[in-house]
Amino acid sequence: MCIEFLDRLSRSKAPLTLTQPDEINNLVVLRAAGFVAAFTLRSVRDGESREWGRFLAVTPTGRAALADGSRSSTCDG
């Protein structure tokens, strides 16, 4: 669930680099919802594409979602 991932991020030391595709997807969903400040980067080297995400902070909206204890928000997009 996205809220669980958001909670995990909120307990992490920022900035945090994410390299796993599922974590990057969750980060993109949380960013689109306005819950985190983050960005993603994609590079191509020797014909191979690589993507990573960079978590910067939980926003006030994200903190409010955590305080509400909402468990219904998923990262399914």
Q: What is the pTM of this model?
A: 0.84
DSSP the chain: -HHHHHHHHHTSPSSEEE-SHHHHHHHHHHHHTTSEEEEEEEEEETTEEEEEEEEEEE-HHHHHHHHHT-----S--
pLDDT, tens only, 18-39: 999 999 999 999 999 999 999 9
pLDDT tens-digit profile, the chain (77 residues): 689 999 999 999 999 999 999 999 999 999 999 999 999 999 888 888 899 999 999 999 999 999 987 655 567 65
Cα–Cα distance measured from residue 21 to residue 71, given in angstroms and rounded to the nearest whole number: 22
Q: 52 forms bridges with which residues in the sheet?
A: 41
